[in-house]
Structure 1
Amino acid sequence: MFEIFFYAVPTVMIAGFGYSAFLLMRRARRVGRTWAHGLTAEGRCLRMYTTTRGGGGDTSVRTTLHHVYEFTTREGRTVRFEEDGGPATVVEGDFVTVRYLPEQPQRATARPPAPARLAVGTGFGVAFLGAAITFCVFFIATAHMTFSESGGLMP
């Protein structure tokens, strides 16, 4: 009964890593499509703020910059969206070029197109998650061999 944890925990981790890889690739595809086929509009930065994580004990502090933008679509609809990781040079009140897909204007981006950077970042993320999945599979296989050789009991 105890050995079920050696199968269940890595399996749940594999599912989580796989889903994360799926979300990462879906986001990259959406952003790439927005850059390539999206419409442009003039937007304005309404707010800029930072959030921090970490900093306890031996961990480093990670600061993320967030921007809140607003723009008007070609149909006249006003859309407000938030984007993290944008340039520190954009401050409240600045005008920016916003790219959006007409069917999803709320998923707009104010980041300038950088398809190579997007591909490299996505590639490294998927490679890392793939390595984590491989480790989990290796762990399950090793646990299975150990349990098989010991007659189902931990040595």
Structure 2
Amino acid sequence: MEAFFYIVPSLMIAALLSGVWRLMRRSRRVARAWGGGRTAQARCLRSYTTTSGGGDTMVSTTLHHVYEFTTREGRAVRFEEANGPGTTLEGDLVTVHYAAGHPEEATATAPAPGRLLAESGCLLLFLGVAIAFCVLFMVTAHEMFAETDGLMP
């Protein structure tokens, strides 16, 4: 029974750390695209939505866009981006930002480094608090079991 109080929070910490890693990877990718200094006109080839949830949980809908553009070197690049604006339709032209070495990591999101920093910072703070709560829970459980010689009170 005691292992339950260590295994579950440890699994939660692993999932939260995975979220931190994905968040940092996404933030670096977008910042690199904005800071890359290259732009191009891209055409929206397709837009579609995906849904998740349902039943007893809240339904979440995500709007996706598929864009295609040509780099300065003449290379055709196609990429997909989630959570784009609902006003972009198939056939629309948009400006994309990309780094010379990573055109496949382009973004159609307009540069907003302050917003990216604020969003990433708030999410990192939330994930950090959740990790700290899990660690605190495990420490408290350990102390509780140490005082009762491993028996539940």
TM range (shorter): over 0.9
Identity of aligned residues (%): 60
Contact 2:36 2:100 (8 Å CA) reproduced: no
Match of 2:31 in 1: 32
Residues 6-15 or 90-99, more deviating: 6-15
Task: Please report how far the alpha carbon of residue 55 of structure 1 lies from its aligned counterpart in structure 2 after TM superposition.
Answer: 3.1
Q: May I ask how many residue pairs the two structures share in their alignment?
A: 153
Q: Which moved more, 1:141-150 or 1:6-15?
A: 6-15
Equivalent residue runs for 1:9-28 within 5 Å: 9-28=8-27
Aligned counterpart in structure 2 of residue 61 of structure 1, from 59, 62, 68: 59
Q: Is the 8 Å Cα contact of residues 62 and 82 (structure 2) preserved in structure 1?
A: yes
Instruction: Quote the Cα distance in structure 2 between the aligned partners of 1:5 and 1:74.
Output: 56
TM-score, length-scaled by structure 1:
0.91
Residues 81-133 of structure 1, C-alpha deviations (whole Å, 9 max, x = no match): 00011111110001111111122111110111111221121112111111110
Query: Where does the alignment leave 5 or more consecutive residues of structure 2 unmatched?
Result: none
Asked if structure 1 preserves the Cα contact closer than 8 Å seen for 2:40 and 2:96, the reply is: yes
- TM-score, length-normalised on structure 2? 0.93
In the aligned structure 2, how far is the partner of 1:93 from the partner of 1:142? Answer: 58
Corresponding residue of 2:77: 79
SS of the residue corresponding to residue 111 of structure 2 reads coil
State the match for 2:95 in structure 1: 97
CA RMSD of aligned residues (A): 1.4
Kindly state the Cα deviation for residue 29 of structure 1 after the two structures are TM-superposed.
Answer: 2.1
Q: For the residues of structure 1 that align with 2:102 and 2:137, how far apart are their CA atoms?
A: 42
Structure 1 unmatched ranges of 5 or more: none
